[in-house]
Amino acid sequence: MELTTVWFVLIAVLWTGYFLLEGFDFGVGVLLPFLSRDEADRRVIVRSIGPVWDGNEVWLLVAGGATFAAFPEWYATLFSGFYLPLFLILLALIARGVALEYRGKSGSPRGWDRAFFWGSLGPAFLWGVAFANIVRGVPLDARHEYTGTLFTLLNPFALLGGLATLLLCTSHGAVFLALRTTGELRAAASRAARSLAPATIVVVMAFLLTIGGPRPVLEGAWWAAVALAALGLLGATAATLRGRDGWAFTASAVAVVAVVAGLFVRLFPNVLPALDPANSLTVTNAASTPYTLTVMTWVAAIFTPVVLAYQAWTYWVFRRRLTGPPAGSR
């Protein structure tokens, strides 16, 4: 396998890990005002991601850095053409991080809770808008420069993609909260997961099945990913109805992985298709030199297992369910 393909796969893995882990963080933030009855509930909800949320964001940083180093043409075109949406995502992530750090230090945390909510909802929606445009294609000229406007990116299919990722993350967050909490909060999270399930299944599958464009190069893998996403969503719903929180989260995780992996399968061998196929960026014309890719491969081979082992250990340490104060002490 050529190194350009290897790094395309590695970047896909990084983005998949980001949406898998940060996805339930976003969902928890979106659900905060709807599941919490009082400050005690809000503290438990925030604590459910407290030890891991900043580690989950590292996947985004590494994915961006790997894209810059392995496919600089892709990075340059993407971050110039998608500048405003990506800037809004960055602002939302900053607001969200500040809110999580400071809500416990403030005498009035409600303002920070609103920042946490909007800082979670915004990226969950805008990442879907961005990836919908990336996979379907955008207007690029012969120099691989974006020639559209902000409104070009806000097309109906992209908005459908944003709604799909928002619902997917929110549902993922609901099953995560059901897994991590007890009592009335767990029951509320389970009800939210059941309520969100029908809309999530319909919208996510509509998004995947209406991508359009040329037939994917890896057509068998694409349809396998679509089928796995559907099975994951249905399995999460069935497990939630039976009160099997662990299986529900596992099935939801499978669905998230299948959706993101499917988008990258659909994208290959392009990294940013153009409406005029002659101007598309591919794994070949957007890649760094072979020497750069070789050095990066050695670095990744050494340090990636260490990072994965550390993060797995973190989740193992904080695996127990969280409990709030008894109902009579609220």
Q: What region does 21 belong to: left with phi over 0, alpha with psi -120 to 50, or beta?
A: alpha
- Nearest-angstrom CA–CA distance, 300 and 305: 8
pLDDT, tens only, 85-124: 899 999 999 999 999 888 877 667 788 889 999 999 999 9
Q: Long-range contacts: 204-209, Cβ < 8 Å, 24+?
A: 204/164, 204/167, 204/168, 204/229, 204/233, 204/255, 204/259, 205/229, 205/230, 205/233, 206/160, 206/164, 207/128, 207/132, 207/160, 207/161, 207/163, 207/164, 208/164, 208/259, 208/262
Question: For residues 18 and 160, is the Cβ–Cβ distance under 8 A?
Answer: no
270-272 and 281-282 strand pairing: antiparallel
Look up the pTM and report it.
0.91
pLDDT, tens only, 151-169: 899 999 999 999 999 999 9
The pLDDT of residue 324 is 57
pLDDT, tens only, 11-56: 999 999 999 999 999 999 999 999 988 888 888 999 888 888 888 8
Using only C-alpha atoms, what is the Rg of the chain? 20
CA dihedral 224→225→231→236, nearest 10 degrees, is 160
Q: Domain locations in the chain?
A: 3-189+267-321
Residue 92 one-letter amino acid = A
pLDDT, tens only, 239-248: 999 999 999 9
Indicate whether 325 pLDDT > 70. Answer: no
The pLDDT of residue 217 is 87
β-bridge mates for residue 303, sequence order: none
Could you tell me what percent of the chain has a pLDDT over 90? 63
**Structure token pair of residue 219:** 């057509």
